[in-house]
Amino acid sequence: MEKVEVLRQYFGFSSFREGQQTLIDAVLAGRDVLGVMPTGGGKSLCYELPALLLPGLTLVISPLISLMKDQVMALQNAGIPAGCIHSAMSVEELREAYRDTRFGAYKILYIAPERLLTDGFCALAQELEISLLAVDEAHCISQWGQDFRPSYLKILDFLQKLPRRPALAAFTATATAQVRSDIVRILQLQDPVTVVTGFDRPNLRFEVLRPQDKRRALLELLEERRDKSGIVYCATRKGVEQICELLQSRGFAASRYHAGLSPDERRQNQEDYICDRCTVMVATNAFGMGIDKSNVSYVIHCNMPKSVEAYYQEAGRAGRDGAPADCILLFSPGDITTAKYLILNQTENDELTDEERQTVQAQDLIRLEQMTGYCKTTGCLRGYLLDYFGQPHAPRCENCGNCQAEYDLQDLTREAQMILSCVVRVRETLGYYVGKTLIVQTLRGSRDRRLLQLGLDRLSTYGLMRKLSAEKVLAMIDRLEEAGYLRTNAQHFTLEPTAAANGVLFGGEKVAMPVHLEPAAQSGEKKRRRKSAAASAPTTGTDDLFAALKAERTRLAAAEGVPAYVVFSNATLADMAAKAPRTMEDFLEVSGVGEIKAARYGEAFLKAIAAYEEADET
């Protein structure tokens, strides 16, 4: 069979997405590949489709066993023979999976990395014809990646035990050059065909807010999105508990997810969310990897995540169906402290040696600094993200909080002089530069013990900005940093003046800074534009049919005991509503409808459509 044929028949798609074809061709030709695509870009297809055309078995290494079950179920439902092996399975289930694998019942086998070297699997692997080894979330193999998992290193030992080396296909959404080269080097990819696709997700609207009261801001945002499905991320388990309770008390169908819950509750809550029985998932970053729910229309972060990679991955769970979606980050300077604490007290990865831990921490702190930059920039947010991933872009996207915000140019020359001269004076007095906190305290005339011990209360700049809040002073320092008058020393986190500072201190240079106008001060039109991207999406005349199709999907999913998206994704239902097919032939034209699924569900949906149109005519 041809690959386009497989694409249509099994996956129900009419065309490939960016990068998929190149990678699939290379895999089919027996080449090693490295695919770098953003979350939601369609990496799975690059190994799932070849698996059906290659002889023998495709092994897929994937880090999160909680997701394997769903992935396998979705494949099976599309008529693709798939299985999985991981440590959360019972002895009985494992035995069955081994037996089926041995008899060639699967084309695709998902396996957790820590199972690779078990005696049972090693022995089994000797007998198998493995054509392809796909490594999903391949950044887990690198210490420089945001999620280093030493168990990924077992892949190498496993490969050495095989009688014949299969082709290797590695996939990740992490694009930093260091991680990429680590993947190639450590996995020993041989002359891999490498594809890096665009990271831009034009349907996502990014925004950073600095609310005085995050809980109130969150409630307001959710109120505008009551009928939508979304994720609210918090930095800590406690945060999740509190926010979830708050939302439930306000009548939101909210559920929660974090590593402190029992596996049963986690599974249940995740399923409730995926099946749309609850609309808001409040979670730590433990939630979401690999979750293929296409109708997430907002992702709100109550705290700043630890890295841009993490943020883009989490925020990227919105709008997978291509519909407009919002990614909103509620920032406060306290988030930096929390994130630092989490980095310095990381316990989740107890596989690491001390030395590895130190490398990882140092790296994490640099990444945190880059994430902080995102929260503080007044430039285009999309541009900031794309810069991070090394991708060229237009100077302004006109579809992010910053591009659409109204700014006033405020003359901050006097304040800038105070801040810069304070930084210089402190250095003159102590012989070294200090961090932001101490500068803010000095300017605000704090009676802090350390400050007094250092004698900073005797400086002429002491107390000059007494009337301003610490937050305001910090914000001005941030602006000065962004404008290039100050910089943070990456090693010591101290605040230092740049050469440009002299112009302000001694050359009469003026400093004007864009000041974000509060929404209340904005014009009516702009305010409306600020409203949710999703809310302002054009409504089509197919909304009711869409709802009817959704109801039909719910019914079928319940009858089969599977999550709704395993039947069809929202993108598929939307296309179905738009095309309103009347015959099986037309039904097969709907994006996401393959032959197996058409045979299984076609009749039910065609009936639902016919019933809808009849009701519409009367």
Stretch of residues binding ligand ADP (CB under 6 A), selected from 12-20, 58-66, 251-259, 384-392 = 12-20
Footprint of Mg ion on 508-547 (CB under 5 A): none
Q: Which residue is nearest to Mg ion (CB)?
A: 43
- By CB under 6 A, name the one of 39, 172, 174, 399 that touches ligand ADP: 39
Rounded CA gap, 85 and 256, in Å?
Answer: 27
Q: Which does 303 bind (CB under 5 to 8 A by kind): ligand ADP, Mg ion, none?
A: none
Rounded CA gap, 515 and 502, in Å?
Answer: 23
Nearer to Mg ion, 37 or 235 (CB): 37
- By CB under 6 A, name the one of 6, 23, 42, 302 that touches ligand ADP: 42
Nearest distance from C-beta of residue 290 to Mg ion, angstroms: 5
Nearer to Mg ion, 43 or 444 (CB): 43
Cα–Cα separations (whole angstroms), residue 299 to 211, 252, 289: 17, 16, 14
- By CB under 6 A, name the one of 6, 8, 16, 317 that touches ligand ADP: 16
Footprint of Mg ion on 6-45 (CB under 5 A): 43
Residue 384 lies near ligand ADP (rule: CB under 6 A): no
Footprint of ligand ADP on 516-575 (CB under 6 A): 569
Nearer to ligand ADP, 198 or 463 (CB): 198
User: Are the CB atoms for 495 and 423 separated by under 8 Å?
Assistant: yes
Rounded CA gap, 141 and 61, in Å?
Answer: 12
Ranges assigned E (strand) in 316-356: 325-330
Helix axes 470-482, 413-430, angle to 10 degrees: 90
Angle, CA 456 vertex, CA 492 and CA 475 arms, to 5°: 60
How far apart are the two ends of the chain, measured CA to CA in Å?
46
> 410 - beta bridge partners?
513
The answer for 559, left when phi > 0, alpha when psi is -120 to 50, beta otherwise, is: alpha
How many residues of this chain bind ligand ADP (CB under 6 A)? 16
Footprint of Mg ion on 372-431 (CB under 5 A): none
Residue 40 lies near ligand ADP (rule: CB under 6 A): yes
Residue 50 lies near ligand ADP (rule: CB under 6 A): no
**Residues near 341 by beta carbon (within 8 Å), at least 6 away in sequence:** none
Stretch of residues binding ligand ADP (CB under 6 A), selected from 41-49, 281-289, 361-369, 502-510 = 41-49
Nearer to Mg ion, 33 or 240 (CB): 33
Nearest distance from C-beta of residue 7 to ligand ADP, angstroms: 7
Site track 40-79 with Mg ion (rule: CB under 5 A), x = hit: ---x------------------------------------
Name the helix (H) or strand (E) containing 409. Answer: strand 407-411
- DSSP 8-state symbol, 139: G
Residue 468 lies near ligand ADP (rule: CB under 6 A): no
Rounded CA gap, 473 and 439, in Å?
Answer: 9
Nearer to ligand ADP, 45 or 454 (CB): 45
Stretch of residues binding ligand ADP (CB under 6 A), selected from 43-51, 84-92, 100-108, 423-431 = 43-51
- By CB under 6 A, name the one of 6, 33, 34, 37 that touches ligand ADP: 37
Rounded CA gap, 196 and 565, in Å?
Answer: 28
Rounded CA gap, 23 and 14, in Å?
Answer: 17
Nearer to Mg ion, 101 or 313 (CB): 313
Nearest distance from C-beta of residue 316 to ligand ADP, angstroms: 8
Stretch of residues binding ligand ADP (CB under 6 A), selected from 42-50, 141-149, 419-427, 456-464 = 42-50
User: Are the CB atoms for 615 and 581 separated by under 8 Å?
Assistant: no
User: Are the CB atoms for 62 and 136 separated by under 8 Å?
Assistant: yes
Nearest distance from C-beta of residue 321 to ligand ADP, angstroms: 8
Give the tokens for residue 340.
Answer: 């630092």
Name the helix (H) or strand (E) containing 516. Answer: strand 512-516
- By CB under 6 A, name the one of 3, 17, 472, 529 that touches ligand ADP: 17
**Residues near 1 by beta carbon (within 8 Å), at least 6 away in sequence:** 9, 52, 53
How many residues of this chain bind Mg ion (CB under 5 A)? 1
- By CB under 6 A, name the one of 13, 158, 485, 601 that touches ligand ADP: 13
Residue 19 lies near ligand ADP (rule: CB under 6 A): no
Residue 41 lies near ligand ADP (rule: CB under 6 A): yes
Name the helix (H) or strand (E) containing 458. Answer: none
Rounded CA gap, 84 and 65, in Å?
Answer: 9
Nearest distance from C-beta of residue 70 to ligand ADP, angstroms: 11
Q: Which does 319 bind (CB under 5 to 8 A by kind): Mg ion, ligand ADP, none?
A: none
- By CB under 6 A, name the one of 4, 22, 28, 45 that touches ligand ADP: 45
Nearest distance from C-beta of residue 173 to Mg ion, angstroms: 8
Rounded CA gap, 385 and 403, in Å?
Answer: 14
487 phi and psi angles, rounded to 5 deg: -145, 155
The answer for 594, left when phi > 0, alpha when psi is -120 to 50, beta otherwise, is: beta
Q: Which of 334, 233, 346 is nearest to 280 (CA)?
A: 233
Footprint of ligand ADP on 286-345 (CB under 6 A): 292, 294, 320
Q: Which does 488 bind (CB under 5 to 8 A by kind): Mg ion, ligand ADP, none?
A: none
- State whether residue 488 is helix, strand or coil: strand
Nearest distance from C-beta of residue 349 to ligand ADP, angstroms: 23
- Concatenating the DSSP letter of every residue in 263-297 gives HHHHHHHHHHHHTTSSSEEEE-TTS-TT---TTEE
Site residues for Mg ion per CB under 5 A: 43
Site residues for ligand ADP per CB under 6 A: 13, 16-17, 20, 37, 39-45, 292, 294, 320, 569
